[in-house]
Amino acid sequence: MVVTSFLLHYGYAALFLFAILESACIPIPSELTFGLGGALCSTAFFADGSNADAKHLQIWAVIMVGVLGSLIGSLLAYGVGRTLGRSVVEKYGKYILLSHADLDKSEAWFAKRGGVTVLFGRVVPLVRTFISLPAGIAEMNPVSFTVLTTIGVAVWVSVLTTIGYNAAATYQSTVKGFSYAGYLVAAGVVVALAVFYRHRYQAVKGQNAKHGKH
């Protein structure tokens, strides 16, 4: 796997790059990135000699690099959402059933519950990858966004790195099991979005019919 190969050979640089990409709406599984990063900090991972050429990392450095990369990626996505998101949605939103009113509602939601949404969204698979974009579109307070994002990614990165470190001897099976659990949660999110989209489509269709629009 490309991600695994890069992590084994480029260590911190690969961790930093993948952390940025994953938080900037590129769905790279952080379970794999930081799970392996944590495993690379343990001598147990190198015990059988099969990974002798891999970079031996330090757990504190993996967490710091991961948090910094995740924060940078999140701020990039937030910036794109804040500067371009509203104009793009207003121009093309009708194709995905979004309107100016929806943007106003989203902004009101983030004004009231944005903190909780961003904080807990950081530890939900799939959601954590994309949460920065709507936060930017809704123009969530940048200071609050940065602080809460830092807290959320610090918890997420630390937990995954620690799991990888403690499971270094059985890394493959442990990370696979953890990833499967993440995929189940992500699948649930996808289903929920599909149901929402279908409901939204019917609502918009009903509104158009009521106002004589086609």
pLDDT tens, residue by residue, 62-110: 999 999 999 999 999 999 888 887 776 666 555 555 556 666 666 777 7
pLDDT for 181 equals 52
State residue 175's pLDDT score.
Answer: 53
Burial class (CB in 10 A: 0-12, 13-18, 19+), 209: exposed
Domain total for the chain?
1
Which pTM value belongs to this model? 0.74
Determine the pLDDT at residue 184: 59
Contacts 24+ apart (CB under 8 A), 189-197: 189/124, 189/125, 189/126, 189/127, 190/126, 197/97
Q: Which domain holds residue 155?
A: 2-210
Residue 71 is predicted with a pLDDT of 96
Question: Which pLDDT value is given to residue 174?
Answer: 54
Q: Which residues of the chain have pLDDT under 70?
A: 1, 48-52, 88-106, 171-190, 192-193, 195-214
**What's the pLDDT score for residue 156?**
93
pLDDT reported for residue 145: 92
Q: What is the pLDDT of residue 79?
A: 92
Task: Encode 59-91: b = buried (16+ Cβ within 10 Å), e = exposed.
Answer: beebbbbbbbbbbebbbbbbbbbbeebbeebee
